[in-house]
Structure 1
């Protein structure tokens, strides 16, 4: 990598880190071009060169943290022997990620992230295919083994992630959920909803 490319990469990282800090300190309304350039010391032209707009910067920030979260979820699944232990590992990985990266968790669970997910779902799915494919394969494998009920993958995904995302949002927004308790209670409740075993 040339020195110019290294400088460009360092600028991108600085802008992304600064944008998250600005968001954490002031919320979505604080995320302006002026706020990010002032806090980072990076020129307006450089921000536009790398991201095209403040929206491009925020979208890149969301994609960065979504990729990290999905990576941790995939790793959790890959290290589990059974579907049941996989649900437990995935739930704990998600909640631990949100606890350890609270600012990024707030952004990933924000109305802006929801809007991006609604308007650009196909692009997001395509961009994260390398992370999502192993998760779908893991589900298909355990359905085939008779551990997970033979439901459509999007429905299984909703049954597994819905309660976890809900608990994370509640913790981030109100703080009235104990994440340790959620990590203990949710996996078994989720497992019952997708298990192929009769009740």
Structure 2
């Protein structure tokens, strides 16, 4: 990497880190970001194309980090049942330990900037989702897990954990992540296991 490329990468990281901090503080705006990151608006446009492009890049980074933690936990598991447990626990642990990143991921689907940047998001998610599908495939082939189209399996496994995380991040006092980690894995497993 050339010195110019390294400076560019450092600028991108500084902007994304500042954007995440500002989002968590409830003040993610162009003027606040330019001030906190110490960059010009021209530099922001140069690196991201637009303010929405920057938000899409931040979403892709945060989603990538979340999926990396889930994939790593899943790939350490030998059975489908322990894999489901590991996935649920990793997702909830990420939510608790990496709250700003989890908050950005769970708040962003309601933002209008994602559809215009679907290619960038797919590039971040695609390889990670492929690893999840590859891990799951032998368990489906063996008859341990019910065979469903990938989006439906994702909804059954990730849906409950994502909604639990979203509510916890929103401050719902009835949501306890430790209780969710105890209760959800077996319930989710029951929804995807093949009944003999």
- The verdict on a shared fold, with TM-score over 0.5 as the criterion, is yes
CA contact (8 A) 2:64 2:124 kept: no
Compared with structure 1, are the counterparts of its residues 37 and 117 closer, same or farther at alpha carbon in structure 2 (3 Å cutoff)?
Answer: closer
**Deviation string for 1:103-140 (max 9, x for gaps)?**
11111001x33446973696233442211111112222
Backbone CA RMSD of aligned residues: 1.8
Partner of 1:113: 109
Q: Tell which deviates more after alignment, 116-125 or 9-18.
A: 116-125
Q: How many residues align?
A: 194
1:180 aligns with 2:184: no
Q: Check the 8 A contact 1:159/1:190 in 2, yes or no.
A: yes
One of 44, 47, 52 as aligned partner of 1:47: 44
Who is 1:11 aligned against?
Answer: 11
Distance 1:142 1:117, change over 3 A: farther
Q: Does 1:194 align with 2:196?
A: no
Tell me, yes or no, if structure 1 residue 34 matches structure 2 residue 31. Answer: yes
TM-score by length of 2: 0.92
Task: Determine which of 70, 81, 95 is the counterpart of 1:98.
Answer: 95
Contact 1:69 / 1:97 at 8 angstroms: preserved in 2?
yes
Contact persistence 2:52–2:113 (CA under 8 A): no
TM-score by length of 1: 0.91
Higher relative contact order (CA 8 A, sep 6+): 2
